[in-house]
């Protein structure tokens, strides 16, 4: 049996399928795939955001608590847990290549390929599609780019303030057609890899699309499906100013929805190509996401440790097994570090003890649950000892607090009466708070708030340093 895993960055779990909160967004290919799959309705991250999640996917080991002090010089940006895969942790690709699998990685998620990272371990082939977001790839005539900046920012003359936009605009300067967009390139190359390696079965292919992560910059007609006739700034990085108009705010949402629809189209392209090769009936296909994002949920855009609610912490996990059930919903809690042991168990490949669990017994109904709660950490972007926030979620409660330092503003939400998680009742239920804190302490293996070994710094991007020096000279 072959395995293909498709990871979509910043893809909200409530945007696909019937009955989902944002089901008005056009995702016909992912909806079709869900109808052919096992759907985990309560899949959550274990430690977020990007690199922490992929490390858990690859190794089956928790990324939280933050305990490694690897050299990260040259790795901009980073937070606690944002580092290479520890050398004592085996990866999916390493295990499978040692069992005779051809292994491949196709990705534009540039954080995986930065200095001092090693997410290519075990892949016989890997392809890095350059240019996403702040990928330090291309540069050129600043005057030409500054003219383009006017469409996106309030102060186009400030080059250091707009370094992120400038890098991105240089990276996409040769983009002409839809097939040149990053998610299209990822899925086109993934389909070509399948074609090139169809005689190298069994294979394991990890397809990692950074979209729909910011910048939300689909072809204009995709955003226009959700807000037509718009004229104004395109806040493609999801950061409209505080004084943004209602229409500007709705346009930011439309940009995200359009990006999602673009990803769905090219995901569909890949699935059709996989089917055309005749391999679909011999291949387990999984679709995953690493986290979601806020679209004015609780009044703002973005994703960070301050909003550990499902719009951020819930992930997509669909498994289409050729011999498995179709459109089967699993309500039990599963997490990102369960991916690795589940894949290896399905392939009957042995592996060492890991933190995650094989979730397939939930599908076969041999088990009703593998855990009765989830602990989800999100690292903070600060210098010094590792800190962040942690969520403890069960069927009735979501408790959120600081980890790594004391918290004067903990949160507790009663899910049956407050599904949107807007009424903090932490002072009313001290016994629940105590229970949830003990669950965190079981993961930390020490009393809360916990002291973790990892130390963090806040490096500045090389491009921004250059631009600051350039402005001072000018």
What are the tens digits of pLDDT across the range 197-215?
999 999 999 999 999 999 9
Look-up of token digits 């690709």 = 93
Map residue 434 onto helix, strand or coil: helix
User: What pLDDT was estimated at residue 146?
Assistant: 87
- The DSSP letter of residue 52 is H
The DSSP annotation for 355-402 comes to SS---HHHHTTS-S-S-S-EEEEEE---SEE--EEEEEE-SSEEEEEE
Domain range list for the chain: 2-371, 387-451
Q: Supply the pLDDT for residue 18.
A: 67
**Distance spanning both ends of the chain, measured CA to CA:** 61
| Residue whose tokens read 């168990």 | 345
Question: Which CATH number, 3.40.50.20, 3.90.550.10, 3.40.50.300, 3.30.1120.10, labels domain 387-451?
Answer: 3.30.1120.10
pLDDT at 227: 98
Cα angle for residues 289, 208, 279 (degrees, 5° grid): 100
pLDDT < 50 regions, the chain? none
* Residues 123 and 93: beta-carbon distance below 8 Å: yes
- Helices within 230-383 (DSSP H only): 246-276, 310-313, 339-346, 360-363
Domain 2-371 fold: Alkaline Phosphatase, subunit A (3.40.720)
Res 191: pLDDT: 98
């Amino acid at each position: 049996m072959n395995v293909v895993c498709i990871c979509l960055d910043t893809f909200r779990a409530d945007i696909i399928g019937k009955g989902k909160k944002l089901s008005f967004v056009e995702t016909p290919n992912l909806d079709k795939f869900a109808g052919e799959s096992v759907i985990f309705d309560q899949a959550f991250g274990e430690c977020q955001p990007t690199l922490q999640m992929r490390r858990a996917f690859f190794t089956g080991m928790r990324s939280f608590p933050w305990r490694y002090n690897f050299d990260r010089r040259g790795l901009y940006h980073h937070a606690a847990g944002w580092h290479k895969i520890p050398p004592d942790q085996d990866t999916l690709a390493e295990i499978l290549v040692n069992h005779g699998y051809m292994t491949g990685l196709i990705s534009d998620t540039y954080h995986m390929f930065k200095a001092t990272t090693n997410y290519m371990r075990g892949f016989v082939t890997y392809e890095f599609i350059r240019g996403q977001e702040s990928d330090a790839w291309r540069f050129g005539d600043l005057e030409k780019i500054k003219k383009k900046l006017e469409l996106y920012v309030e102060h186009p003359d400030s080059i250091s303030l707009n370094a992120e936009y400038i890098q991105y605009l240089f990276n996409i300067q040769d983009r002409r057609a839809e097939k040149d967009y990053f998610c299209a390139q990822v899925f086109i190359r993934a389909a070509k890899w399948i074609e090139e390696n169809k005689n190298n079965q069994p294979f394991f292919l990890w397809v990692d699309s950074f979209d729909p992560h910011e910048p939300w910059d689909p072809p204009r007609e995709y955003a226009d499906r959700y807000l037509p006739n718009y004229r104004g700034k395109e806040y493609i990085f999801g950061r409209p100013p505080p004084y943004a108009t209602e229409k500007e705010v709705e346009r930011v949402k439309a940009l995200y929805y359009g990006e999602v629809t673009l990803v769905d189209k090219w995901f569909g392209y890949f699935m059709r190509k996989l089917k055309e090769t005749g391999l679909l009936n011999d291949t387990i296909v999984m679709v995953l996401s690493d986290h979601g994002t806020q679209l004015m949920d609780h009044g703002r855009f973005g994703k960070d440790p301050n909003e550990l609610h499902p719009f951020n912490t819930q992930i997509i996990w669909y498994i289409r097994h050729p011999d498995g059930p179709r459109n089967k919903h699993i309500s039990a809690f599963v997490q990102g570090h369960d991916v690795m042991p589940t894949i290896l168990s399905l392939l009957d490949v042995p592996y060492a003890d890991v933190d995650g669990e094989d979730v397939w017994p939930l599908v076969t109904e041999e088990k009703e649950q593998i855990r009765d709660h989830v602990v989800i950490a999100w690292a903070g972007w600060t210098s010094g000892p590792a800190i962040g926030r942690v969520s403890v979620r069960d069927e009735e409660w979501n408790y959120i607090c600081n980890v790594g330092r004391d918290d004067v503003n903990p949160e507790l939400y009663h899910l049956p009466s407050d599904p949107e998680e807007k009424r903090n009742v932490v002072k009313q239920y001290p016994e629940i708070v105590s229970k949830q804190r003990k669950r965190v302490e079981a993961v930390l293996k020490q009393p809360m708030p916990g002291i973790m070994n990892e130390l963090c710094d806040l490096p500045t991007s090389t491009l921004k340093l250059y631009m600051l020096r350039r402005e001072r000279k000018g």
